[in-house]
Amino acid sequence: MNGVTMEVGAVAAMRFVKDGIRAAKLVMQHTKHTLLVGEKASAFAISMGLPGPSNLSSSDSISKWSKWKENNCQPNFWKDVVPLDSCGPYHAKASMDVKEGGCSTRNLMGIAEPRSSLVGPHNHDTISMAVIDKMGHVAVGTSTNGATYKIPGRVGDGPIAGSSAYADTDVGACGATGDGDVMMRFLPCYQVVESMRLGMEPMLAAKDAISRIARKFPDFVGAVVAVNKNGVHAGACHGWTFEYSVRSPVTVDVKVFTVLP
């Protein structure tokens, strides 16, 4: 996302092309669209000169997949379904707590059902970065392989503007990581930037965005990093201890900051 022009480029569910972040930038630079997905996103990236189609499987990913299959494809992200066999195909349960008249009885109080998150520091690979150049221009980018054991076709919060990243040169930027299926429902990075626009310091803006999610989903795992246009930064998290790094012209090396939940 270009914080000067507010242009966004994104790709999702893109296979056979390794460099998703470069493909996203090409969408922003060479199309009037915001988001390309699936097979056509791969074809676009290759047509624009990125290497592919390539086999992106590694020995580690194949081993993890094999062990998962042996464990009857557990854990996974399905709910309220029954499998035809141990790994599907899956079908909705015949009875879904529906009363006479066809109205569901679940979540009538507006409280989300407990969610056992499959996202953690050891199965998560999102990278979100915010940059302020010498002219004060702000940009952000996010790259992720997605959630381990996801259902095919799933799109996470990485390519969703305002969720995993957001930038406005007049204000600052935000990057996020964690359980994207929950976080994208709240657009936390958009919330962070808008809070800073209203005068909130990065620390309070980050904590406020995370607390909005935690009130509805107390079991979720996630974090945001906020930075204003002057380079003041802070992070907030829930469900894990989070670290982020900062490099600036006045530092000799990268400095790592630890954020406690």
Active site residues: 126
Is 142 annotated to bind a ligand? Reply is no
Is 119 annotated to bind a ligand? Reply is no
Is 34 annotated to bind a ligand? Reply is no
Is 157 annotated to bind a ligand? Reply is yes
Site of tokens 């998703």: 20
Is 52 annotated to bind a ligand? Reply is no
- Residue 226's nearest CA partner among 182, 261, 188 is 188
Site of tokens 């022009």: 5
Is 239 annotated to bind a ligand? Reply is no
Is 180 annotated to bind a ligand? Reply is yes
Is 156 annotated to bind a ligand? Reply is yes
Residues making up the binding site for substrate: 154-157, 177-180
Residues making up the binding site: 154-157, 177-180
